[in-house]
C-alpha cells in the first residue's frame, strides 16, 4: 500500500454530518452540481477507478483526502449505487437544474393554450419518468408496467389539472393564471411518486438498526418516506414557479418585453434556473436521507419481531429515497 491517505475513510457515507440541515445541504449542493454533467467519460472512469481502488486498499501516491472525496462525488453523480451502471445523462441528479429550468421555464411561458399545456406537461412528465427510472432502487426495481402506469397517470393528472385550472382562471387576474403550472406539477408529484414506488407501499422498505443490521420490511416506513419525498419535490418546485410569475407579470407591462416579446421565455428560464440552483439541494436536505421512526409506529408483527430480537431498540432507520 502506498500514499499518505489512511485506508479507513468511510466513502460509502457522505462527507458531511447528515444529522444536521447544514451538513445535508452541503452534501446535496455537491450531488446536484450541474458542472458534473460536463465531465468526460475519461474523467468519470478515472473517478470510478480511484473509488474502487481505495475500497480495495490501493491508494495512489500523492492522492489527497480532498481528491478522494471529489472522486467519490463524481462517481456517485454518474454511476448507479446498486447496479454500478453508468446512468442516463439527463436522469442524473446533476442534470436536475439545467433540465428543470428549461422545462419549467417553458411550462410557465407557454401556458395559455391547450396544445401548449398538453405538450409541456407531457415533456415534464416524460423527464420525470426518466429520472425516476434512472434513480430506481436496485432492491426493488421498477417493472415496465409499473413505470408505464405511473407515467400515464401522472401525465393525465398534470394535464387535467392544468386545463381545469386554466378554464377556471380565464376571468381572473393574469397573475393568478401564471400559477396554474405549479398546481399541475404539485398534483403530478402526488400521483407520480406514490405510483412509482407502489411496490414499497405493498411489501415495505428495508428497516435497520443504527448499525445497518436489517430488521425486516415496513410499509409504515414506506409511507413516511414517500410523504417526505412528495413534500420535498413540491417545495423544490415552489420557488422557481412562485417567484418568477410576480417578476414576469411586472416585466411584461414594460416597454422592453412589449418590443421584444420573444425574450419572455429566456428570461423566465433564467429566473427559474436561479431559483432551482438553491431550491434543489436545500429541499433535498429538508429530511435526512437516512430517515428514522419509532419502533412503536411500525406494523404490529414487525414490532413484535424486533422486540424479540432487539428488546432495547427504540428507533429504526431506512433510506427515504429522492
The tens digit of pLDDT for each residue in 77-113 reads 888 876 778 888 998 888 988 998 899 888 878 877 8
Sorted by sequence, the CB contacts under 8 Å of residue 321 that are 6+ apart come out as 137, 197, 225, 226, 229
- In tens, the pLDDT along 2-12 reads 446 777 888 88
- CB neighbour class for 93 (10 Å; exposed up to 12, middle 13-18, buried from 19): buried
**Alpha-carbon distance 276 to 174, whole Å?**
24
pLDDT at res. 256: 78
- In tens, the pLDDT along 252-296 reads 778 877 788 788 888 888 888 888 889 989 998 999 888 888 888
Going by their DSSP bridges, the two strands 290-294 and 205-208 should be labelled as unpaired
Sorted by sequence, the CB contacts under 8 Å of residue 283 that are 6+ apart come out as 232, 233, 235, 236
Question: Which H or E element spans position 72?
Answer: helix 65-78
Name the nearest CA neighbour of 177 among 186, 167, 189, 187. 167
Amino acid at each position: 500500500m502506498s500514499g499518505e491517505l489512511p485506508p479507513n475513510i468511510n466513502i460509502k457515507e457522505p462527507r458531511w454530518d447528515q444529522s444536521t440541515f447544514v451538513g445535508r445541504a452541503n452534501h446535496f449542493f455537491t450531488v446536484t452540481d450541474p458542472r458534473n454533467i460536463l465531465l468526460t467519460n475519461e474523467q468519470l472512469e478515472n473517478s470510478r477507478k480511484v473509488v474502487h481502488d481505495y475500497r480495495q486498499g490501493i491508494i495512489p501516491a500523492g492522492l489527497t483526502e480532498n481528491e478522494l472525496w471529489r472522486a467519490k462525488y463524481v462517481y456517485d453523480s454518474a454511476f448507479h449505487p446498486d447496479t454500478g451502471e453508468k446512468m442516463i445523462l439527463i436522469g442524473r441528479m446533476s442534470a436536475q437544474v439545467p433540465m428543470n429550468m428549461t422545462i419549467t421555464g417553458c411550462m410557465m411561458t407557454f401556458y395559455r393554450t391547450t396544445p401548449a399545456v398538453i405538450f409541456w406537461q407531457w415533456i415534464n412528465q416524460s423527464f420525470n419518468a426518466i429520472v425516476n427510472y434512472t434513480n430506481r432502487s436496485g432492491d426493488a426495481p421498477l417493472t415496465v408496467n409499473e413505470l408505464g402506469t405511473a407515467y400515464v397517470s401522472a401525465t393525465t393528472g398534470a394535464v387535467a389539472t392544468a386545463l381545469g385550472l386554466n378554464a377556471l382562471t380565464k376571468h381572473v387576474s393574469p397573475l393568478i393564471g401564471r400559477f396554474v403550472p405549479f398546481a399541475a406539477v404539485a398534483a403530478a408529484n402526488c400521483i407520480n411518486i406514490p405510483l412509482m414506488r407502489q411496490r414499497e407501499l405493498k411489501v415495505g422498505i428495508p428497516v435497520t438498526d443504527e448499525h445497518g443490521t436489517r430488521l425486516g420490511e415496513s410499509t409504515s416506513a414506506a409511507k413516511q418516506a414517500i410523504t417526505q419525498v412528495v413534500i420535498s419535490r413540491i417545495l423544490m418546485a415552489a420557488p422557481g414557479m412562485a417567484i418568477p410569475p410576480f417578476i414576469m407579470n411586472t416585466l411584461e407591462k414594460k416597454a422592453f418585453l412589449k418590443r421584444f416579446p420573444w425574450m419572455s421565455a429566456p428570461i423566465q428560464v433564467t429566473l427559474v434556473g436561479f431559483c432551482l440552483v438553491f431550491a434543489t439541494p436545500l429541499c433535498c436536505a429538508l429530511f435526512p436521507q437516512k430517515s428514522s421512526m419509532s419502533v412503536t409506529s411500525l406494523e404490529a408483527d414487525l414490532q413484535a419481531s424486533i422486540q424479540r430480537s432487539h428488546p432495547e431498540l427504540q428507533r429504526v432507520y431506512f433510506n427515504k429515497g429522492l
